[in-house]
Structure formats: C-alpha cells, structure tokens
Amino acid sequence: MTDGPRSDVGRWGGNAWQPPTTPSPEPEPEPEPDSRSRRGGRSFWARCCGCCSCRNDDDWGREPYRDRGSGSRGRGSRSGGRRPDSRGSDSRQPGSRGSGVNAAGDGTIREGMLVVTGVDLLSSRSDQNRREHHTDEFEYDELIVRRGQPFHMVLLLSRPYESSDHIALELLIGNNPEVGKGTHVIIPVGKGGSGGWKAQVTKANGQNLNLRVHTSPNAIIGKFQFTVRTRTEAGEFQLPFDPHNEIYILFNPWCPEDIVYVDHEDWRQEYVLNESGRIYYGTEAQIGERTWNYGQFDHGVLDACLYILDRRGMPYGGRGDPVNVSRVISAMVNSLDDNGVLIGNWSGDYSRGTNPSAWVGSVEILLSYLRTGYSVPYGQCWVFAGVTTTVLRCLGLATRTVTNFNSAHDTDTSLTMDIYFDENMKPLEHLNHDSVWNFHVWNDCWMKRPDLPSGFDGWQVVDATPQETSSGIFCCGPCSVESIKNGLVYMKYDTPFIFAEVNSDKVYWQRQDDGSFKIVYVEEKAIGTLIITKAIGSSMREDVTHIYKHPEGSEAERKAVETAAAHGSKPNVYANRDTAEDVAMQVEAQDAVMGQDLTVSVVLTNRGSSRRTVKLHLYLSVTFYTGVTGSVFKESKKEVVLQPGASDRVAMPVAYTEYKPHLVDQGAMLLNVSGHVKESGQVLAKQHTFRLRTPDLSLSLLGAAVVGQECEVQIVFKNPLPVTLTNVVFRLEGSGLQRPKILNVGDIGGNETVTLRQTFVPVRPGPRQLIASLDSPQLSQVHGVIQVDVAPAPGGGSFFSDARGNSRSGETIPMASRGGA
C-alpha cells in the first residue's frame, strides 16, 4: 500500500464528521424545503404512478420532510404536516402517532379519504418477519429485515380497501433522499415496482390490509423512515413519520440475488449468526486461543455500526455495495485519519485506557463509541479484527476472524522481508525496517467482486489494523484471497501488502568488503507459516493456509512468489544467489509457563559427506508480537564440529530471574541464531520466537440458567508469579447473558488463589458463552470462558433491558476466598 491521490472508494474527505465538544444524540432538524423545488416540479403520485401524471401539482400539496438520517443515534419524529385550523369535528391533529394529513397539509380529513390509522410491521422477535429474516436474535423492537427477501405488514385503515384506492409505501434514508440514488424508495401497492421493489395485497379483511413487501437485493443498508400515502377522489392522505415504524435493512447472505450470498447454511450459521468465536495468537509452535464475544445482536450494537458509516460521512447511495462498506469499516475501526472506533497502542503503556489484552468482546467498545463519539483506548490487531467481525456480521456480511502466524510487514513494497547484516553477520538495525509479527489477526468476508475480472469472488481480506496507508488512508481491503494465492498483486485493493504478509520470503543480506550487499541466505518458509480460523460449528481450529497460498515449495507457490516480486520494488532479488547448503539448523524452545525457568536449544545436522565446523552465535531478547525487539539480555557463542551425518544440540538455559526484568506484552522472546560453516562458507541464519504461557481463569456455574432469573457464576484464579499482582481488574461479558461488566478486585498476592462470585440475569435462551478476563500491570492475557445453556422463561419469550448488569466505570468486588499455593 502506498500513498497517493484519494481516488479509491471508502473515504470521502469532503464529508468528514467533526465531533462536537459534547456529542449530541439528536441534531437539530433542518428547515423544511419546498418539495417541488427539490423534485423538479413533479408531484409524488406523478412520480410513482403513471395514471396520475396528468394531475396538477397543486392538487397534492407539500411532501413530508425532516432530518432523514439513518437514525442510528435514536432521533425523534416530526409530524408530516402543518398545524390544522379549526374545521369542525372531522378535523384531525396530525402531530400525534397514527394521525395523518391531507394533500393541502391543513390536517383536514375529508369524507371518502382513505386514512391509514396505524401500521403493524409485525416486528416483534417472535413474529414471522424477524424469524424468516434471521433477525430474531437482535435485541430490538423495530423491524429488521434483510434485503432481497419479502416481509409482511398490516395497514389499519379508516374503511375497507377498494380496488380504486391508490396506496404507496415510501422508504427514505439520508439528509436529501433521491429516487435516483435509492435513498427515496416509492412502492405502489399492487403495481410492479422498479429494481426489485414491490408490494402486493395478500388479504383485505375489513379495515385491515395485509401486504407482502419485496425489497431490492441491491437496496441500501441502514435505518429507513417509513410512511404510507393514499389517494382517492376525496383527496390524498399521508401517514406521518413515526420512529416506531422505522425499518432496518441489512445485507442478505440467504438471498441468491444479493452479492453477499453464501450457499452453505452451516457457513451462514457460523459466519453471520454466531455471536462468539475464537481468536488465536502466540506463535505457530505455541498457539494461544481466547474466546471473543462479538455480540452483534446486543441492544445498541446495530445503531453503533450504522453510526460508524454516518461518522465517516459515507454517501448513503454507496451503502448498498459491500465492497464500499467493508472498505469504510476497515478504515473506521481504527482511529487514525478519521477519529474512528479504536486507538491503537503498542507501547506497553495503557495507563490512559484499557490494555488490549483485557477486552473480552466488542460490545463495550462499540457502545462506548456510540455513547460518547470518541475513540476508545486501546486496541491491537485482534481487537481491531474482533470489532470488525462484529460490525460486518451485524450488517449481514459473512465474516470470520483469521490469524496469520509469522506475518510480514513489508515497508518498501519489495514483497520480500529484508534483513541486513555486517561482514560479521551482526544485524544492522538501522537498515532493518521490515518486520515479522509473531502473529497478525485480520478478517475474511464473503462477497462477489463485480469490480474485478471473473474468478475473484468469495473470501476477501479486510484488515482494520493501521499498518500502512492505502491511497493516503489507513485502511486495507477488501482484497480477493484468490489474487493473493496467485501473486496477482495488481488486483485491488492492497494485494501487494497482504501478499507479503503471507507469502514473501525472508532474505538475509550481508555487507561485503566493498560496501555492497549480497544475498547469503533466503528463508523460503518463514512467512505465513500457518493461517487459521475457528472451525464451523465447533471450537476447533481450521487451517486455511491452502486458500491463501499453494503448497510451500511447490512450483505453483514459487511462481506466485516470483511473479509478485517482479511487480515489487526489487524485481531481480532472486537472481544470482548462492544455494549450496549441507548443514541444517533447527531451533527448539520448551513449553514454559510465565514465572518458570526455561531452556532453548539449537540442533545442527550435517547432511553432507565431509566434516563441518560451525561457529554459532545465539542472542536472546524479549519482543513485542509486532516484531519490535528489546535489547539482548543473554547471549552465547560456541563452535561445533559435525561429522558427516551427525547432529549436535546447543542448549541455552534461561532463569525466571534473568527474563523477568525485561518482559513485555504477550510474554514473547526472540532467539536470533547466526552461524558460519568454516569449510564451505555456508551462512546459517534463523529467527525463532516463542512465548511464555499464562494461566486460564476457571469459571463454573452455580445453578441452572433461565431467562429472566438470576444466576451465579464462580471465577477461580491462581497467581502463577511469586510477586503481588496490583490493581487487578476482571471483565465479564456474554451476549444474551451479561452486558459488559468491570470488576475491580485490588491486589492478589504471589502464588495466591482467589475466588469471586457474580450474578447475572440471562435475557435470551439457548447456548451462550460467558467470557472473563483478568488484567494487572504485572500479568495480562488471562482469560476464561464457560458455556451456559439458558432455558426459556416459564412463560416463554425473552427479556432484555438496557441497564442489565452494565458497569462501565467498574465496581470494587471483595474476594469470596483466598488461598495460598
């Protein structure tokens, strides 16, 4: 990704939203413009119904207008007409819910007019609409539907419906709705609509009119205002806008005509509807995993997701395109450029916010951003990816969280990881700008790519972690995984950078006597060694490396790498390199727990027929997971003589007291090994990262879980360190179980065991995940999870409240018991 003109989709600098000093949830409404000046002089009915085009505009009066934003911050409604004069008993006040106005806007309801006295959108979670559209888990009372799929509603009329009556439904979104941009949708009942929109009468029963409404598979996503218009010989009636009648429309992976369609039900269940998942971290040899609460159906999260689009100023007309939407989300989840959701922090100092390792889900982050309008501190790659999964799943895109181990960060578009050494193979740190992250977490989302040639549909990479700019903005993707696999780095968006993350080679350069540099070693299997995600329908890992790259070392894989490198800044990097190698080297590190001593070893093997003498150097330092290393705190030098076919092991013991003063986030260390074979001149080089494991939290349920009834959970933790943990904070969260809760528990002594209990009230039935974390300045990355099978309430249904179990600022919790080792 390189800087350049902002010609790409996904950012609209001219529409940047500036936060107010105190974020206001309800902006002042704009003045009502004259509708005919906005509509080119044609009346509502002339635009939606050909038989009415001959009527005079003055017959229809003003159109309703108000601030028609997406409504993602909970705006109120306004009546659609003027205050009426006093005209007798058949005059009606239009300002109240269910009232209406006539064409003249004076509030008079004339005899014979078809008045809509109410609308039933069948929006409750148990109604047919929500169940058929797979939106019944959303903790919302409003109607939430997926585009390209019909839904039902009932109009309550002042008299029985007659075939001569004209009825039109109207959906509006944005500040200046226009029919041509899809932000003002007019649906004449009983007539063929345009672009897939239509409404049909399914039943006329007295004063109730049942309708089946079809939405376009290309509809804009967001929160629409809804109204109904009628016309008879007696005049026109329009139902005022009512916030209770607003309709959310989402992408639809169940609809074959939607470009986000997914043709596997188990995929949709996992990648759209699953509210929790597993995120993997650590190293390839020592994989850590944690449960993450995506919480895409929690109350307020959908509004937060739409607010993200509003905050960037994304044009409403572009919100029907998942390519545009996912690109904007990749930019807005990080705070750089645009005051987005999360502030990235890799410094190790989190005193002004939350340690990224302490988060257990996305809900607290998104609701804080919605509530305050300010970026939330702090995030790192797995937090950015977890929040992105929440947002995209909430909006209807099949999305998964993916971890790439040994993920390269190419800073010069060479599509290789270049490491420079002096004549004695000592690293030249001032030249080593490329880095290899122990792991990096991003997202795959599923969609067709009509903006690319055929063959690039399916999984697309979206990465919200701010690493390099794309067209001058910190965003990344969507990028076709198929283009990454084949090294087609000229495909948009950001393929060169992502290709280098998974399939570049690590190239070791040695400075020569004349000052030039020569390639002395190419490590072809060092980058993108393992790419995994949570498996469908289980908590197991799924290896997806094969969809990102051809088998390592195969002809197709080498061709992809060299094709990509030919488009990089060093196209001839593979020319004229020495390949004679008969001594093999392998690095091993034992599995150790934080606080214990450990041993790292280097195994040398002579695969040749002649004796070999190897001069070996080992340097051990701590490292952040991003590849940034601290100073070397232990080193060893040894000369090893290997007979033909023989092996030897060089061990380096490391005591807890040696590494304790140097520890950083994730408890990771980097062993740099370099060697020189005296007889052949072969250069050996290897960078090996390993980590110290942290303990888990043990969660157990004390009693049965039933919707609406209090339940208790017990959390047990043993401090693995011989030092006191200070200012310990627990977090507890679970969709359908517990709103994000912060528990301050004070200090925990060295090797001490503590137990605490917390109550919660389940709000939705079914299998749920309750997730906890522990954080302190001395120890982080401590998590635990328990599955909670929630029984329905005795009377059936669900229960939810905004206030349930929410403790934003934290509360002090006494420990139930303490014990020694």
Mean pLDDT, the chain, rounded, equals 82
DSSP for 321-344 reads -HHHHHHHHHHHSB-TTT--SEEE
Average pLDDT for residues 495-512, to the nearest whole number?
A: 84
- CA proximity to 439, closest of 326, 531, 504: 531
Confidence of residue 92 (pLDDT cuts 50, 70, 90): very low
Q: What is the pLDDT of residues 766-817, one digit of tens each?
A: 999 999 999 999 999 999 999 999 999 987 666 655 444 444 445 655 554 4
Q: Judging by DSSP bridges, how do beta strands 506-511 and 417-421 pair with one another?
A: parallel
Q: Are 557 and 499 in contact (CB under 8 A)?
A: no
Element (H, E) at 546: helix 545-548
Predicted confidence at residue 318, as pLDDT, reads 94
Q: Are 765 and 707 in contact (CB under 8 A)?
A: yes
Catalytic residue flag (residue 457)? no
Report the 3 state secondary structure along 172-188: ECCCCCCHHHCCEEEEE
Alpha-carbon distances, residue 747 vs 270, 729, 776 (angstroms): 39, 9, 9
- 404 has a pLDDT exceeding 90: yes
- 399 has a pLDDT exceeding 60: yes
Predicted confidence at residue 101, as pLDDT, reads 56
Predicted confidence at residue 431, as pLDDT, reads 82
Confidence of residue 174 (pLDDT cuts 50, 70, 90): very high
CATH topology (fold) of 583-693: Immunoglobulin-like (2.60.40)
Q: Are 240 and 81 in contact (CB under 8 A)?
A: yes
Same fold, 265-567 and 583-693: no
- Residue ranges of alpha helices (H) inside 334-466 are 363-372, 381-395
Could you tell me how many residues make up the chain?
Answer: 821
Q: What is the pLDDT of residues 24-35, one digit of tens each?
A: 343 333 333 333
Given 134, 166, 440, 688, the catalytic residue: 440
Q: How far apart are CA 608 and CA 198, in angstroms?
A: 76
Q: How far apart are CA 48 and CA 785, in angstroms?
A: 55
Predicted confidence at residue 414, as pLDDT, reads 60
State residue 421 phi and psi, 5-degree precision. -130, 160
CATH topology (fold) of 265-567: Coagulation Factor XIII; Chain A, domain 2 (3.90.260)
Confidence of residue 107 (pLDDT cuts 50, 70, 90): low
Confidence of residue 87 (pLDDT cuts 50, 70, 90): very low
CA atoms within 13 A on the CB side of 739: 18
Confidence of residue 379 (pLDDT cuts 50, 70, 90): very high
Q: What is the pLDDT of residues 510-534, one digit of tens each?
A: 888 899 998 888 887 788 889 999 9
- CA proximity to 233, closest of 114, 121, 352: 114
- 630 has a pLDDT exceeding 70: yes
Report the 3 state secondary structure along 398-445: CEEEEEEEEEEECCCCCCCEEEEECCCCCECCCCCCCEEEEEEEEEEE
Window from 199-203, 450-454, 556-560, 561-565 with minimum mean pLDDT: 561-565
Predicted confidence at residue 187, as pLDDT, reads 94
Q: State which amino acid sits at residue 646.
A: A
Q: Are 417 and 539 in contact (CB under 8 A)?
A: no
Predicted confidence at residue 50, as pLDDT, reads 41
Average pLDDT for residues 106-125, to the nearest whole number?
A: 88
Window from 430-434, 621-625, 653-657, 785-789 with minimum mean pLDDT: 430-434
Catalytic residue flag (residue 440)? yes
- 413 has a pLDDT exceeding 60: no
* CATH number of the domain located at residue range(s) 698-790 in this protein: 2.60.40.10
Q: How far apart are CA 443 and CA 327, in angstroms?
A: 12
Domain ranges, ordered by start, for the chain: 101-250, 265-567, 583-693, 698-790
Given 48, 381, 394, 479, the catalytic residue: 381
| Sign of the torsion angle spanned by Cα atoms 781, 786, 787, 788 | negative
Average pLDDT for residues 275-282, to the nearest whole number?
A: 96
- 138 has a pLDDT exceeding 80: yes
Q: Are 557 and 550 in contact (CB under 8 A)?
A: yes
Element (H, E) at 801: none
Q: Are 237 and 101 in contact (CB under 8 A)?
A: yes
Place of tokens 């340690």: 355
Phi-psi map region of 342: left, alpha, beta (phi>0 left; psi -120 to 50 alpha): beta
101-250, superfamily in CATH?
A: Immunoglobulins (2.60.40.10)
Q: What is the DSSP letter of 271?
A: I
Percent of the chain with pLDDT over 90: 54
Confidence of residue 5 (pLDDT cuts 50, 70, 90): very low
- 507 has a pLDDT exceeding 50: yes
Instruction: Please enumerate in sequence order all residues whose Cβ is within 8 A of that of 575, keeping only pairs 6 or more positions apart, or say none.
Output: none
- 356 has a pLDDT exceeding 90: yes
Confidence of residue 560 (pLDDT cuts 50, 70, 90): confident
Provide the edge-to-edge strand list for the sheet that holds 647-654: 583-589, 598-606, 647-654
Q: Is 683 helix (H, G, I), strand (E, B) or coil?
A: strand
Window from 183-192, 271-280, 304-313 with minimum mean pLDDT: 183-192
Predicted confidence at residue 813, as pLDDT, reads 54
Given 303, 410, 444, 463, the catalytic residue: 463
Q: How far apart are CA 524 and CA 807, in angstroms?
A: 50
Give the residue, 451 or 555, on which the prediction is more confident: 451
Q: Is 153 helix (H, G, I), strand (E, B) or coil?
A: strand
Confidence of residue 761 (pLDDT cuts 50, 70, 90): very high
Q: What is the pLDDT of residues 58-67, one digit of tens each?
A: 333 333 333 3
Confidence of residue 106 (pLDDT cuts 50, 70, 90): low
Query: What is the pTM (predicted TM-score) of this model?
Result: 0.82
Window from 66-80, 145-159, 725-739 with minimum mean pLDDT: 66-80
- 16 has a pLDDT exceeding 50: no
Catalytic residue flag (residue 409)? no
Average pLDDT for residues 466-490, to the nearest whole number?
A: 79
Q: What is the pLDDT of residues 679-692, one digit of tens each?
A: 888 888 888 888 88
Predicted confidence at residue 77, as pLDDT, reads 35
